[in-house]
Amino acid sequence: MRIALFKSLTLAIVLAAWPVRANAQVFNHDSVHVAAAEAPDTARRNLVLVNPFGVVFDVYSLEYEHVMSKGTSIGLASTYYKPSDYTYFTSEVKLRYYPSDHAPDGLSVALSGGVTHETTDLICFDVCNATATNRPTLGFDLDYNWLLGPSRRFTIGTGIGAKRLFGSKTYSSIDGIPTARIAIGAAF
C-alpha cells in the first residue's frame, strides 16, 4: 500500500507540474526581449540553501530550487536529525507558487511530497532493538525568501508548515509533524 501511495503521489506531482513547465517554456522562448524585461529577482533561476544552525543543533538540511516560470518553482529538500535514540531523515519534492510572480523572491506557498525514514531505539534494560520505518509524506509550507546584496545572490529563507506521514509507525512516531525552515544560501 505504501508503494502504491508513493507512486500515486509522485504521479500527481509530475502531472501538476507538467502544465507549469509547458508555460515556462513558452514564457522563456516567446522573444529575445523577455530576459531583458525580467526584474532582477526573477533573473535568478536557481537557489541552493543550507540550515546554518545544523552544527549547533544537529539538524542538517539542504535545499535546491529551480524556477519554472515567473510564479512557480520546483525544488528538492532533505533534512537529517539524530538525537541520541532517534533518527529522522526526509527527502521531498516541493512545488512552490509565488503570488507576486517574482520567483524565487518573496512569499511562497508549497505543496510537498516525499519519504521520511525514522529509526527509534526502544527503552530497555539489557538489549535494545531499533525499529525502523519508511513513510510517505504530504505537506504544506508557507515560506519567504529574501535575495539580498547588489547582485541579489545571497539568499535567506524562512518558513513554517506541517506534513502528514502515512503508513506504519515506529514505537514513538506520530502522524503529523510541524515543520520550520531557516536557511541561507546562494541564488544563481
Q: 13: phi > 0 → left, psi -120 to 50 → alpha, else beta; which?
A: alpha
Q: Which CATH class is domain 2-187?
A: mainly beta
Confidence of residue 15 (pLDDT cuts 50, 70, 90): very low
- Please tell me the predicted confidence (pLDDT) of residue 170: 58
Percent of the chain past pLDDT 70, that is, above it, reads 70
Domain boundaries of the chain, sorted by first residue: 2-187
Name the pTM for this structure.
0.71
Grid coordinates representing 89? 531523515
Grid cell 500500500 is found at 1
Lowest-confidence region among 9-23, 32-46, 168-182: 9-23
Q: What is the mean pLDDT of the chain?
A: 79
Higher pLDDT, 22 or 95: 95
Using CA atoms, how far apart are residues 123 and 128, in angstroms rounded to an integer?
7
Distances (CA, A) of 71 to 102, 105, 112, 156: 6, 10, 17, 19
DSSP states along 105-169: SEEEEEEEEEEEEEEEEPP-SS---EEEEEEEEEEEEEEEEEEETTTT-EEEEEEEEEEEE-S--
